[in-house]
Amino acid sequence: MKKSLKTKSCSHQWRTLSYSSKKEVAFLCSKCQQTHHRSMTKSEQAIVKRRKILKSHTKIHRVWHSFAKEFMEDYFKFKYQGYDMMKRVAKWARTQPKGFVHIVYCDDSYHASSNLVLIEHKRSDKYMGTSVVFIPQCSGEAPIQFFLYPGHRSVLITALAEIQREASQVKKRELARERREYADWEAVVAYPSRNLDVK
Ligand SMILES: [Zn+2]
């Protein structure tokens, strides 16, 4: 009977393709791409049910949903902007679970101190990515939101690390140049106490 299920050319290697709330499970053979559907067994149903309960307790987007509910209309338009928004977000961040919200600083195009709000889409056993919201303080524009998948995040970190490495080399040369300039100046400066012809 088992033999009749097999095709002549493929000793199937099944993996689970999907399972639905309608108690159906689908399999795919990774060798020949053949699919197979059937109803779930009782123990399979129990596992799926348990996972769903777990998921609803620790939703991966929960902190982002909280942010969007508080500060956006339909996950698209921001309700506030500038310093007002920055203050409101700082207050909201204090009510969120630890390690989900990071507020870092940058300048807007007016060189006014502004915020980048990093919100993590994660739960203890899964990480999807990080939303970033830029809130300019004084440019009069609405905040802007973008999303970093783990790949984007890695590329950004690599770029920033490279910038940092180079900046520290430049800083050394900058300090050396300043010392030289100071010495040059000290050699020629006419301090009032030393040189009486300066009035
Ligand atoms: Zn197969």
Q: Which comes out higher in pLDDT, residue 196 or 36?
A: 36
> Are 147 and 131 contacting, i.e. CB atoms less than 8 angstroms apart?
yes
* Count of CB atoms situated within 10 Å of the CB of 90: 13
Question: 12 alpha carbon to ligand 1 midpoint, in Å?
Answer: 4
User: pLDDT averaged over the chain?
Assistant: 89
pLDDT tens per residue across span 12-49: 999 998 887 778 999 999 999 999 999 999 998 888 88
Q: Tokens for 194?
A: 């030393």
CA distances (Å), 188 to each of 55, 86, 146, 147, in order? 74, 50, 54, 56
Question: 147 alpha carbon to ligand 1 midpoint, in Å?
Answer: 39
Predicted pLDDT at 195: 55
Q: What are the extents of the domains in the chain?
A: 13-57, 62-148, 158-186
Bridge-based pairing of strands 72-73 and 77-78 is antiparallel
Predicted pLDDT at 1: 43
pLDDT tens per residue across span 147-187: 999 999 999 999 999 999 999 999 999 999 999 999 999 88
Q: Which comes out higher in pLDDT, residue 188 or 196?
A: 188
pLDDT tens per residue across span 46-88: 888 887 766 665 688 999 999 999 999 988 899 999 999 999 9
Question: 45 alpha carbon to ligand 1 midpoint, in Å?
Answer: 25
Predicted pLDDT at 194: 59
Question: 11 alpha carbon to ligand 1 midpoint, in Å?
Answer: 6
Q: What is d(CA 170, CA 159) in angstroms, rounded to the nearest whole number?
A: 16
Q: pTM for this structure?
A: 0.66
Q: Which residues contact 60 (CB under 8 A, 6 or more apart)?
A: 121, 122, 123, 126, 128
**Can you say whether the dihedral through the CA atoms of 53, 54, 57, 60 is positive or negative?**
negative
Question: 7 alpha carbon to ligand 1 midpoint, in Å?
Answer: 7
